[in-house]
Amino acid sequence: MTDHHPTPRPEEPEDIQKRNFIKTLTVAILGFITFFLTQPFVTYLFPVAKEGTKEKFIKVPNFPAIPLETPTKMTFEYMDVQAYITSNVIYDVWVVKHAADKASVYNPLCTHLNCRYTWVGSHHEFMCPCHGSIFNINGKVVGGPAPRPLDTLPYKIEGGELYVHWELFKAGIPQKLEI
């Protein structure tokens, strides 16, 4: 009796190429899937490292136009990136311009419990409506429960324009602790 088992066809170079191509493609697809699944998580865990935006100085428009020694509330736009969602957020700061190249820049939140204080020109003081904290033009506490002076922000002046480094600090404690 003759054995009719078909003899396996020797692999052609074309077959080997095809198989290698499919392997490479599979690895690439898995790589992409893994990247897209894990990347938002990594971004969530390390938002600051990913964004890099916290390190930036952001331009606060109109600095040359503001009067000297008069606290002025100024706004600027800041691009926030959180887990692939980019949003333009408007921030504000209080600026006291001392000279064309010198200023004090204050975070707009009261150091007691983060309410927004305001400059009351008639009293020549910053006042917080929530629990009555009062700060002088230098940010020093002159009344109320605020545990520390107003929080100053790092800034630089280049070409006459003001650039601010936005930071937030923990409220309700005597130390200026960045969060």
Residues making contact with ligand FES (CB under 6 A): 110, 112-113, 115, 128, 130-133, 144-146
Q: Which residues make Cβ contacts (< 8 Å) with residue 101, sequence separation at least 6?
A: 157
**Residues belonging to the chain:** 179
| CA-atom Rg of the chain in angstroms | 30
> Residue 77 Cβ, how far from ligand FES at the closest point, in Å?
26
Q: Which one, 108 or 163, has the nearer CB to ligand FES? A: 108
CA distance 179 to 177: 7
Q: Which one, 40 or 144, has the nearer CB to ligand FES? A: 144
Q: Which one, 81 or 115, has the nearer CB to ligand FES? A: 115
Q: Which one, 97 or 112, has the nearer CB to ligand FES? A: 112
Q: Which one, 23 or 116, has the nearer CB to ligand FES? A: 116
Instruction: Report CA-CA distances (Å) from 69 to 99, 104, 154.
Output: 8, 10, 18
* Spatial contact of 141 and 151, defined as CB atoms under 8 Å apart: no
* Spatial contact of 109 and 136, defined as CB atoms under 8 Å apart: no
> Residue 58 Cβ, how far from ligand FES at the closest point, in Å?
25
Residue 122 in 3-state DSSP? coil
